[in-house]
Chain A
């Protein structure tokens, strides 16, 4: 597709379960970001991948959160032992290498996670 694709669009899970969220970036974009959007909290940075460099994981809120990016393309965000406070919309964005400086981040529609 032409845009950033995220799946699932909606996920309802029980507290304590693990979830995986997938992001397929725009072809040719070397930078990939995960953000979390909570009600009234804006967008919270989680993790950033740039090419083959080590990812910037400084935004991950706890060690229950992890992400990987295979082959420089598709990324998976994994949340282990989910808690109710993890309920949010998880947004993925991709850009060319200089995206953060030019603001040209292209966002997917997000994965809405609800933890019961």
Chain B
């Protein structure tokens, strides 16, 4: 089964600094990859997705992610953190054979003023 690994459950970043959240996947076939965001007291919402088109994917709120097959990675970045970016971020991979998404353990992002 496909899976994703997110390291570092809590990530602290200063306001205005780069946000970098790492995601590595394991897959025997070309995957579809996703980042979801969960703001406090809200449901998860799709931030961006990679479905075998452009390897650099842009999402909402200034986030982007790059698919690197050689590194089996799909890291999420944002050049300048904003206080409103404080949330939990989940990387996910599509398990084509079973019609489900497999999620990582998530990164809780704290933005320091």
Contacts and interface: CB of A to CB of B under 8 A. Distances in A.
A and B from one complex: yes
A107 to B, nearest CB: 4
Interface in B32-57: 32, 34, 36, 41-46, 49, 51
A41 B45 CA distance: 18
Interface string B83-104: 0000000101011101111111
B26 interface: no
Nearest to A35: B103
B105 A40 contact: yes
Interface in B53-76: none
B107 to A, nearest CB: 10
Given A4-B43, A56-B98, A103 B103 contact: no
A67 interface: no
Interface string A75-109: 00000000000000001010000001111111111
Contact of A56 (B92, B94, B99, B103): B99
Given A42-B106, A58-B98, A109 B51 contact: no
A80 to B, nearest CB: 24
Contacts of A21: none
B45 to A, nearest CB: 7
Nearest to B38: A107
